[in-house]
Amino acid sequence: MKISFEVDGEVMGMPRPRSTIVNGHVRVYETKESSENKAYIRMAYRDALQKAMPEVTTAARDELGYAVTIVIRKACPKSFSKKKRKAALAGELRPTTKPDLDNVAKTILDALNGVAWKDDSEITTLAITKRYSELSSASVLISWNDRRDDT
């Protein structure tokens, strides 16, 4: 079983934790931008789940583990020449700029904790790709592993 969804716009990488001292105790918190980004990812997942498979229960999925494929699309910079832009859109040129692949994946996986799975430790397979596109977005495909796949 599979479900896929799109996250429009640029998905930010997982930022470093922020901390402050309150009444002599260190308090670690998440930035507002990070919280809003994760909420948007959760909303995109819930919308896709409602449309695709409302009958799939979390309990049934948790027993099998998850395989996640993430495709991150970055908009071509305006500074690219026509030739360089064409090569980038054809896949001949890949983005090597920030945010890092692993940070974007961590943002997406953490956003889905408690929604798509209890914890992202249940993910057994992860594939991530970053490429250029006309517009920034991210595609996420979540597969529930089948017991027959363990052969």
Q: What is the pLDDT of residues 18-53, one digit of tens each?
A: 888 888 888 888 888 888 999 999 999 988 888 876
Contacts of 130 (CB under 8 A, 6+ apart): 72, 73, 74, 94, 95, 101, 104
To the nearest 10 degrees (0 to 180), the angle between helices 32-52 and 101-111 is 60
The total of structural domains in the chain comes to 1
pTM of this prediction exceeds 0.75 = yes
CATH of the domain at 31: 3.30.1330
